[in-house]
Structure 1
């Protein structure tokens, strides 16, 4: 029980990596605050946790709205009395080169992927600072380190999240708060599957192309990222601070011959 006695708030945990992480954290003893913009998906995650014997509540909130975030943090603290772990997982994608990206899409992706991290962290940090303890995990991406076709706004936000993570760690280390980033590669989630079906004439061909970027020859699974998040959330990573943790199948630093 690597998170026994801890309370974890996970944004965007109604599906995909967030849901998988919520289930794993609960299995490891955490009280989980499940957040999603979709109340239905958030409740579905909580139901799965409770069916497995875990403890969780669902809070519907839009991480781009300060009032929603304030309400979410207040309810989490009222329910469990503390927040030990914040996983800023909520995020969306945006496809297109700069000249193809509309202003509306740019603003939408920036709001969720970057402003959402800022607002939720801002809401939780005073509590962690008062307790002189806490762990924050920010969801970046390997595209923060590599070039990837038609991902202008997505890459911009994930690069910003990585830079923000490092800056936050300097600011909050005196309060015994650790801040680290996860940098996944392409993970086979329902979102990615739907994206492939809707964006390519031949989804299988597109999937084969993506697989070639991975040294292992396949895409990651949500469980791969959830396990990395568990390490960062646990006391086992007590000396890991301001660090990017790559979960990308070798896409960042490897190259097939």
Structure 2
């Protein structure tokens, strides 16, 4: 029960890494506030937690819309009176080299991936400052550190999240608020599976090529990232501040011979 008596707010918790993390946090004793844009998926995550003996509620909000996020945080605090852990997990991908990226795609990915970290943090942090305690986990990516073909806007957002994490840590360290970032490699989520099916004539061949990016020779799983998030959320990581945590199978610092 590494998160016993803690309340965790997880954005984008209706599927993939967010859902897996929500289930793990609940298993470790946290009361989980499940946020997602999809009411169906978010409700399913909360119900699954409760079915397994945990405690969770679903609160819908678009993380890129300020009034919705402000209301989300108010409702969460009205229910539980505290938010100990904020996991800014919600995000979307954007495929294309810079000259191929439309204004609409650029704005949409920027809004979700950066503003979707800014707004939940903005409204949760004053509560954490008042309590002089809190943990914030921001979802970056190993792409913040390396180049990857046709991922211009996605890479830009994840680099911004990493830089923002470090700046936030400096601002809020005196309030006993820890801010760290997760930097996953390619994780086999439902989103990635769908991307492979819709973007390639031969999805199996594409999958094998993507696996070669990692020294591990395989993709990560949502469980791999969820366990890293659990470590950052728990007191076991109390000496980690403003740190990037890589869960990338060796993609960032390794290269196959």
TM-score, length-scaled by structure 1:
1.00
Post-superposition Cα deviations, 1:28-83, rounded to whole Å, max 9, x if no partner, equal: 00000000001110000001101111000000100000011011000110111100
Output the CA distance in 1 between the equivalents of 2:88 and 2:24.
Answer: 16
Counterparts of 1:176 and 1:108, CA distance in 2: 33
Cα distance in 2 for residues equivalent to 1:55 and 1:23: 10
Q: Secondary structure at the match of 2:67?
A: helix
Q: Does 1:20 align with 2:13?
A: no
SS in 2 for 1:245: strand
> Is 1:232 matched with 2:213?
no
Tell me, yes or no, if structure 1 residue 123 matches structure 2 residue 123.
yes
Alignment partners' CA distance in 1, 2:46 and 2:199: 31
Structure 2, unaligned stretches of length 5 or more?
none
Shift of the alpha carbon at 1:201?
A: 1.0
Where does structure 1 differ by over 6 angstroms across 4 or more consecutive aligned residues? none
- Counterpart of 1:174 in structure 2 is 174
Aligned Cα RMSD in Å?
A: 0.4
Deviation of 1:5 after TM superposition, in Å, equals 0.2
Output aligned runs, 1:72-221, within 5 Å.
72-221=72-221
Measured in 1, the distance between the counterparts of 2:147 and 2:40 equals 36
- Cα drift, residue 216 of structure 1: 1.0
Equivalent residue, structure 2, for 1:223:
223
| CA distance in 2: counterparts of 1:79 and 1:215, whole angstroms | 45
Q: Does 1:253 align with 2:220?
A: no
Q: In the alignment, what sits opposite 2:71?
A: 71
Q: How many residues align?
A: 257
